[in-house]
Amino acid sequence: MHIHILGICGTFMGGVAALAAAAGHRVTGCDRGVYPPMSTQLRNLGIEIHEGFDAEQLDIEPDCVVVGNVMTRGMPVIETMLDRSMRYQSGPQWLAEHVLSNQHVIAVAGTHGKTTTASMLAWILQDAGLEPGFLIGGVPANFEVSARFGKGDYFVVEADEYDTAFFDKRAKFVHYRPNTLVLNNLEFDHADIYKDLDAILWQFHQLMRVVPGKGRVIWNCAEKNLQNLLEMGCWTPTESFGAEERAAWRGTFTDAGARKVRVRDPDGIEAVARWRLSGEHNLENLTAAVAAARAAGVGTEKAVDAMSRFDGVKRRLERTATVADIAIYDDFAHHPTAIRRTIDALRKRSPGHRVVVAMEPRSNTMKLGVHNAELCDSLRDADLVWMYRPDSMGKEFDEALLPLADKLRQFDDYDRLVGDMSKRVLAGDQVVFMSNGGFGGARQTLTAVLQRTRTG
């Protein structure tokens, strides 16, 4: 079968493309604004990508058009697809019908931590010899791909609450029908899709309705919104996780430097391991992954031990370079909670060093100003903040950042931002670039400038 994927370079649709290619289908696609790591993954798979959303690309007459949720009515390719009565499906529907059927699906949902938790879980199952399939909204370093067919009975999927397609406004995750469901947390996000938190809660409630009674729901007991979700209706046995003593699965640090983790399971069994990540949020992710692995028969001690060999996820506080004792990180953080947790993790991982942030407010929710009131507070523990300011941001955005005072430096040009950073960063600094996009190549440019001016 020849499938043509519209919006192929998104993390989810790129994963669908990889799975379709692995299944032996001919895969082509289109997109615009392509950047790594997905562009690299698709290129390595030999998938042809058409630039843009014009109608002419459909002259190749694919057997099925798989439509990403970035596509809207009015786009030439969409109007032509409909006018020609071509066969089409959403990405989640294609995944459910062609990959997830007859698999034990373990889905990881929530506002934050989905990619890391799903990556951890896939690695635990792999380390246990179970050869799981997975589709993750990032690239786990242990696998170097975001999606693959498995050889066993288990499939790990990052369960995103974003809408499915222009013709299906349900959240993507309702298509997956998980046997085991992890709920990390729940906050307001995706303001371009949902008007308020209640609207998101309702979509999560629909997800709860399709988890079987013989399945398992694993949830973060520190999250009040998840408690509210369970009270709306739950027909599946639950197990809680968190750092609290009351959690059925409890994760804690064993040392002041947070370099060793301990997990205690509901039977009182404890396991300890050294890990390569940092941050309390990642400890929560690890604990959830260990708990979910039990659904595949992986015991606590084996699961925790596997985490000592987990190398993280690309673009999730990924250390990409060290130049003249300046550490440079790439991070996907684009919500105030994630921003705050990333800064806190670096503080605890590297005490005594400055944490400096370069941020690009690129998400639709950020551009709409929904997070203005929280953004400044989330950045307050950074020593310096370089903000790329798109022209679309209003005066409310500027006013919200005023309390940062001398910590803040704003630029509307990537090159000028990098030029200023290159003069002000110091040896020992922990420099983190935060964006859910490419940030205009600013991180790579800064690395090159520092290599040229601070070394040799």
Q: 79-110: per-residue pLDDT in tens?
A: 999 999 999 999 999 999 999 999 999 999 99
In the chain, where are the structural domains located?
2-91, 102-307, 318-453
Is a pLDDT exceeding 70 seen at residue 191? no
Q: Per-residue pLDDT for 367 more than 70?
A: no
Q: What residues contact 132, with CB distance under 8 A and at least 6 apart? A: 122, 125, 126, 150, 152, 154, 155, 156, 296
Q: What is the pLDDT of residue 257?
A: 76
Is the CATH code 3.90.190.20 the one for domain 318-453? yes
Predicted confidence (pLDDT) at residue 34 exceeds the cutoff of 80: no
What pLDDT is attached to residue 456? 66
Whether 368 has a pLDDT exceeding 70, the answer reads: no
Q: Where are the alpha helices (DSSP H) in 132-218?
A: 197-208
Rounded mean pLDDT, 237-262: 93
Mean pLDDT of the region 211-215: 97
Summarised one tens digit per residue, pLDDT across range 332-344 is 877 888 898 899 8
The band of 362, judged by pLDDT with boundaries at 50, 70 and 90, is confident
At residue 426, the 3 state secondary structure works out as coil
Residue 325 has pLDDT above 90, yes or no: yes
- When the pLDDT of each residue in the chain is averaged and rounded to a whole number, the result is 92
CATH topology of domain 102-307: UDP-N-acetylmuramoyl-L-alanine:D-glutamate ligase (3.40.1190)
User: pLDDT value at position 80?
Assistant: 98
Question: Could you give the C-alpha distances from 10 to 41, 68, 188, in angstroms and in order?
Answer: 11, 8, 22
Amino acid sitting at position 335: H
Q: Which residue has the higher pLDDT, 395 or 170?
A: 170
Which helix (H) or strand (E) segment holds residue 293: the answer is helix 280-293
Identify the pLDDT of residue 385: 95
Among 188-192, 209-213, 256-260, name the one with the lowest average pLDDT: 188-192
Task: Give Cα separations from 334 to 135, 136, 361, 363, 375 (angstroms).
Answer: 21, 18, 7, 7, 10
Tell whether the model's pLDDT for residue 366 goes beyond 80.
no
- pLDDT reported for residue 235: 97
Residue 36: the pLDDT is 65
Per DSSP, 210 falls in state T
pLDDT at 365: 64
Looking at domain 2-91, its CATH class is alpha beta
Q: Is 364 a residue whose pLDDT tops 80?
A: no
Confidence class for position 436, pLDDT limits 50, 70, 90? confident
Q: How does strand 249-253 pair with strand 260-264?
A: antiparallel
With a cut of 80, say whether residue 243 has pLDDT above it: yes
Of residues 190 and 389, more confidence is placed in: 389
Greater pLDDT, 50 or 315: 50
- Structure confidence by residue, pLDDT tens digits, 136-149: 988 899 998 889 99
Range 73-79 average pLDDT: 98
Query: Average pLDDT, stretch 55-77?
Result: 97
